[in-house]
Amino acid sequence: MRLTIRTKLTALFALLFVVLAGVLVTTAYLFVASATTPEAQQADRQRLLEEALADQGVTLPDAPTPMPSGRPDDAVGQALADIATQVRQNVLDDLLQRSLLAFALSALVAVALAWWLAGRVLRPVDEISQAASTLSERTLDRRLSEEGPDDEFGRLRRAFNGMLARLESAFDARQRFAADASHELRTPLAVLRASADNVLTSPRPSRQARELAEEVEQQVGRADSLMTSLLTLARADDVIHTREPLDLADVAAEVVSAVSPRATAAGVEIDLDIADAPVLGDPVLVERMLANLVDNALRYNRASEAWVRCRVWSEAGRALVEVSNAGPALAAADIPALFERFSRGDQRSEVAGHGLGLPIVARVARVHEGVVDAWPGEEGGLSVRVSLPARRDEPAF
C-alpha cells in the first residue's frame, strides 16, 4: 500500500506534536514530583516560617537535640510523614492521569489539524497535477492562475506555465514541420504517380514504358505508405496526446468498411464481430492502430481460402480488439521480432511492406496504457489482441 504525501505529512506533523507533548508532560511531572518531596517541603516550610517570624522580630532558637528513637513523638512523626507521602503520591497519580487524558485528546485534535493543514499545503500541487492530467495538444494554451503570494508554490506555478509555453511552441513547430515535410514529400510523389498514370493510360505505351510506369507507381505507393507510417510513429512518440471519447467498435467498422473493396478484389472474406468498447484516446492513433492490424491481416494471407476476422468487445474494465487471419505458418519464437521496427520476419520478405505496421500497433497501445498479445494460429496465420483501459462514464453534476 502506497502512502500519499498528505498521509506522510500528517504522520510527520502528528509525530512532532506527540514528541513535544510527551516532553512537556514528562517535564511537568518531574518538576511537580521534585518540588513535593518531603525534604523540599520541609525546607520550604522552614524557610517560610523563618521569614514570617523575622518580619515580627522573633528569632528561632537553635534546633533541639533529636529525641532518642522509640519515643511516642517518633511514632507521631512517622505517621505524619506517611500521610504526607501518600498525599503526595495521590497528587502525582492524579496529575499523571489528567495529563495523559489531555495528551490523548490533544493528539486526536492534532492529527485532524495536521490532515487539514497537509491538505491546505498540498492544494497547489493538486491543482498542478489536475492541470497536467488534462493536457493534450489542444489544451496547451491553458495556464494556471499566478495570483497569490510569491512563495515556493507561486514560483512552481510560474515554472509550470513556462513549461506549457515552451511545449506549446515546440508542438506548434513540430506540427508545422510535419505539415511542411508531408507537403514537400507528397508533392513529388504525386507528380511521379501522375506521370506513371499518364504512361499507363496512354493509347499505346511500349512494353518497357508500361513496366517502368508500373514499377514507379508501386514504389511511389510504398514511399507514401512509409511516410504516413513514420509520421504516425512521430505522433505516437510525442509527449502530448489528444484524449477523446472513442468507441473501438465504431473505429473498427470504419476501418473494415474502407478496406472492403480491396478485400473483395483480393478474394478475402472479412468477418466483423463488434460490441461496444469505449475508450479515451487519440483518434488518429487509434484509427491507425486498427487500420494497421486489418491491413497486415489482409496483406499476409493465404492465396486460397483467405479470411480475416476482426472482433471488438469489452471485458473486466478493458476494451479489446482482436484481429486474426489465415496466413502462413509462424513459430511462436518468431513473433516478437515482428514488433520491431523495419522487421518483417523471414517468411514475410516477399510481401510488399515496410515493417512498421505491428511496431506502430505496439507503440500506440503503450501510449494508451494498453498491452498487445500475439500468437500463431493452429492452421497458420497470426492473431493479435490489443487491450486498452475502458472508458468510465463520469457522473453528471
Q: Where do the domains of the chain lie?
A: 5-56+82-126, 138-240, 244-389
Mean pLDDT, residues 196-202: 78
Per-residue pLDDT at 105: 86
Asked whether the beta carbons of 272 and 250 are under 8 A apart, the reply is: no
CB atoms within 10 A of CB 107: 15
**What does pTM read for this prediction?**
0.53
Which of these CATH numbers, 3.40.50.1110, 3.30.565.10, 3.50.70.10, 3.40.50.2300, describes 244-389? 3.30.565.10
Is pLDDT above 70 for 211?
yes
| CA 394/CA 397 separation, integer angstroms | 9
Confidence of residue 370 (pLDDT cuts 50, 70, 90): very high
CB 290 within 8 A of CB 326: no
Instruction: Look up the CATH number of domain 138-240.
Output: 1.10.287
Q: Which helix (H) or strand (E) holds 138?
A: none
Strands (E), the chain: 244-247, 269-274, 278-281, 307-315, 318-325, 371-376, 382-389
What band does 13 get if pLDDT is binned at 50, 70 and 90?
confident
For residue 38, pLDDT over 70 is answered with: no
* DSSP H helix total and E strand total for the chain: 9, 7
Q: What is the pLDDT of residues 296-340, one digit of tens each?
A: 899 888 877 889 999 999 999 999 999 999 888 888 888 888 888
- What contacts 200, CB < 8 A, 6 or more positions away? 210, 213, 214, 217
Cell reading at 235: 505522433
Do the first three CATH levels of 138-240 and 244-389 match, i.e. the same topology? no
Distance separating alpha carbons of residues 93 and 96, to the nearest angstrom: 5
Q: What residues contact residue 319 under an 8 Å CB cut-off, 6+ apart?
A: 248, 277, 278, 279, 312, 387, 388, 389, 390, 391
Handedness of CA 185, 188, 193, 196 (dihedral sign): negative
**pLDDT digits 0-9 by tens, 49-91:** 666 667 766 665 555 555 454 454 567 666 766 776 777 778 7
Instruction: Report the distance separating Cα 285 and Cα 234, nearest Å.
Output: 11
C-alpha cell at 239: 509527449
Find which of 35-39, 139-143, 336-340 is predicted with most confidence, using mean pLDDT.
336-340
What CA–CA distance (Å, rounded) separates 14 from 20?
A: 10
Q: What is the DSSP string of 303-316?
A: SSS-EEEEEEEEET
**Closest residue by Cα to residue 346 from 356, 334, 355, 358:** 334
% residues pLDDT > 90 (the chain): 17
Nearest Cα to Cα of residue 266 among 308, 228, 212, 314: 308
Instruction: Tell me phi and psi for residue 40, to 5 degrees.
Output: -65, -40
Sign of CA dihedral 275, 276, 282, 284: positive
